[in-house]
Structure 1
Amino acid sequence: MITQSYNVVGVMSGTSLDGADLAHIKLTVANGVWQYHIYGAETIAYTNEWVNKLKTAIDYNEEELKALNNDYTILLSSFINDFIVRHDLTDLDAVCSHGHTILHRPQDGVTLQIGNLPQIAALTGQKIVCDFRVADVALGGQGAPLVPIGDRLLFANYNYCLNLGGFSNISFEENGIRLAFDICPVNTVLNFYANKLGLDYDDAGAVAAGGIINKELLTALNSLNFYTAPYPKSLGFEFVKQTVLPLVEKYNDTPQNNLATFTEHVAVQIANVILQKGIAGSLFITGGGAYNKTLINRMRQLMPQLSIVVPDDKTIQYKEALIFALLGVLKLRGEVNVLGSVTGAPKDHISGVIYSV
């Protein structure tokens, strides 16, 4: 049996804007079976200035976006360089980076992840594999979700894989086909209302637990058209900014009650998806929302037939960095790293670009 191994760094910046996740990962494959080990990993926080830039970039014009892309590529390169030095990394096969999503309108053929300019290879002195979404959108896919290939190859023991980040997304097998889609916003909205209380986030869902659910608002949220649309489907911050936040604000409730109501909304939408499938078994949860005890407890109440599994801290926090590391390695191997069954593309394909030093 021949075992092949890869020494890589995975890099991911999500919609929650807490920072860029970097993880040093060893990926091995033998007889088609993949295994991983996460070594050093950290989230490098954005400055307040960068958070504001990334929040408002959706309204930038083309020239402003070009400048932002250039500046962010330099910033991300510095994060990668600092991470490599701090963790004393040598002989890396590649740095596999998602970048940061600014625009995502696949229905218009548009998706933009900044930080994926060719200069990143020269700035880091590393082989870079990046820009994984563009090719799928060009094929007519949603450009998302990309994580399900990793769920299939690394987490096949679980019936469902759920990520609770800026948005919730789920992945599962049905009749031998991997299906996946975004369910609803999570931390993009919860953090917005936590920020109004002077908090970075609602720690463990404690504020939500003390709020009162606004049933009228909850009904309105649960009635949004996105939730009855067929999958594959995906969400971007545009949906939050243009649809969700204006709806919540219309009810003029307190931030505490908005947190309570939206937490209930998230639990209900996730339960709706899983209960509709009617498959008992195990639900594997990662992402920052896995620490939201109020949300997780409510999900357990709504889905008592499921075994809800919350893994170790590194896997919770760095699963997406891990899977983008895997996508990069699959690209290097010339193997499929995007599943058309989940993105809506007409075929499985190999996505991403490689920049060599």
Structure 2
Amino acid sequence: MKALAIGLMSGTSLDGLDICLAEFEKTDQWTFKILKAETLPYSGDWENKLRHSIHLSAEDLLELHTNYGFYLGSQVKDFVEKHHLENISLVASHGHTVFHQPKKRFTLQIGDGRAIRLETGLPVVYDFRSQDVLMNGNGAPLVPIGDELLFSEYSACLNLGGFSNISLQSNGRRIAFDIVPVNIVLNTLAQKLHKGFDENGDLARIGNIDETLLQCLNSLDFYKKKHPKSLGIEWCNEHIFPLLQDTDPLDALATFTEHIATQISNVMNENEIKDILFTGGGAYNTFLTEKIRTKTSSELIIPEKEIIDFKEALIFAFMGVLKMNNEVNVLASATGSKTDHCSGVIA
């Protein structure tokens, strides 16, 4: 069987909307080809709305949920027209995360899939996380199903986005969990220095590591917990940003980059990972990847730009295909839910 699917991903770092058209084919196993992909930067207005969505009243949040759905739909429609695309099977939308509190059994990704459907006329799969949270899972990470079926040649896959998450084989099953915040913190610190982000880690490279702060960061309880486990912006607001607020931004960048490298290499070393695929925006942070390399003997594989930038959007497209075929697209071993399941709402 073959399917053409468009995947949409908006990460917590708010660098834009990733849109990826891929062809999936299943013979003995699943294969994929990325046919078209681009990142559509948010306007200042949209970035501001999404960044502050966590503070909105219920009424305003519902309005944003609807409007953002129509925005996503219009971006897909423009993408289809621009590239003269035909025979698309479906659109799979992750949405934009506002709340993520699995212990309270809720998570919210805005961008109403029904609005995307109305705007594009295409079948839409959306809201991939809620069902898992209702099943006592973390609702994250979800990409391990793609790692398992599309990227199985690597011992492990690491995404360096707003948060870092890893997926690997352990005792015959795929486990996955969030490790440490990455761009959600680094970008915030860079913005204090009037930069959108710390390009190549150049700012962190000239800062000084605050050893006391580093020790406080490395001592946080989250890092001692066993998987499955996941992180959200709420956790950063409670545990990370208060620790950083009185430190010079350059030194905070240097210290937090060291903290990221320490936590990621700890996980790689504990799991004796042979080779690991690095994707997400943080894979371009050469200072961070250099630091990780010095702390581990694992081989770090940084793939072509297309995979770095669009692996998550690609996998959400794939999850949409699996949903339409009523196949498992969420692994309980990764999220901690009661059982593997087929998640997503179809519009």
1:306 positional shift:
1.0
SS in 2 for 1:113: strand
Partner of 1:159: 155
Aligned mates of 1:106, 1:229 — CA distance in 2:
15
Partner of 2:81: 85
Partner of 1:29: 26
Aligned mates of 2:205, 2:104 — CA distance in 1:
39
Aligned mates of 2:324, 2:173 — CA distance in 1:
24
TM-score by length of structure 1 reads 0.95
Determine if the alignment matches structure 1 residue 264 to structure 2 residue 258. Answer: yes
Correspondence 1:172-183 to 2 at 5 A? 172-183=168-179
Partner of 1:20: 17
Correspondence 1:1-357 to 2 at 5 A? 4-31=1-28, 33-249=29-245, 252-277=246-271, 279-303=272-296, 305-355=297-347
SS in 2 for 1:253: coil
| Residue identity matched to 1:17 | L
1:61 positional shift:
2.3
Assess, with a 3 A threshold, how the Cα gap between structure 1 residues 280 and 350 changes in structure 2: closer, same or farther. closer
* Runs of 4+ with deviation above 6 angstroms: none
| Residue identity matched to 2:5 | V
Assess, with a 3 A threshold, how the Cα gap between structure 1 residues 246 and 336 changes in structure 2: closer, same or farther. same
Aligned mates of 1:329, 1:116 — CA distance in 2:
19
SS in 2 for 1:183: strand
Question: Are 2:200 and 2:286, in contact at CA under 8 Å, matched by a contact in 1?
Answer: yes
RMSD: 1.0
1:280 positional shift:
4.0
1:87 positional shift:
1.5
Q: Deviations over 1:20-69 (max 9, x none)?
A: 100111111112x1111112111111111221221211122221211110
Aligned mates of 1:242, 1:55 — CA distance in 2:
17
Question: Are 2:74 and 2:116, in contact at CA under 8 Å, matched by a contact in 1?
Answer: no
| Residue identity matched to 1:86 | K
SS in 2 for 1:26: strand
| Residue identity matched to 1:189 | V
Aligned mates of 1:117, 1:329 — CA distance in 2:
15
Aligned mates of 1:214, 1:52 — CA distance in 2:
31
| Residue identity matched to 1:293 | T
Aligned residues, how many?
Answer: 347
Aligned mates of 1:108, 1:253 — CA distance in 2:
33
> Which has the higher mean CA deviation after the structures are superposed, 102-111 or 235-244?
235-244
Aligned mates of 2:273, 2:55 — CA distance in 1:
43
Gaps of at least 5 residues in structure 2 are none
| Residue identity matched to 1:291 | Y
Aligned mates of 2:116, 2:318 — CA distance in 1:
19
| Residue identity matched to 1:329 | V
Question: Are 1:96 and 1:324, in contact at CA under 8 Å, matched by a contact in 2?
Answer: yes
Aligned mates of 1:246, 1:60 — CA distance in 2:
22
Aligned mates of 1:138, 1:83 — CA distance in 2:
34
**Percent of paired sites with the same residue:** 47
1:119 positional shift:
2.6
SS in 1 for 2:94: strand
Aligned mates of 2:160, 2:273 — CA distance in 1:
20
1:76 positional shift:
1.0
Gaps of at least 5 residues in structure 1 are none
> Which has the higher mean CA deviation after the structures are superposed, 112-121 or 210-219?
112-121
Aligned mates of 1:287, 1:293 — CA distance in 2:
13
SS in 2 for 1:118: helix
Question: Are 2:156 and 2:273, in contact at CA under 8 Å, matched by a contact in 1?
Answer: no
Question: Are 1:69 and 1:117, in contact at CA under 8 Å, matched by a contact in 2?
Answer: no
| Residue identity matched to 2:73 | S
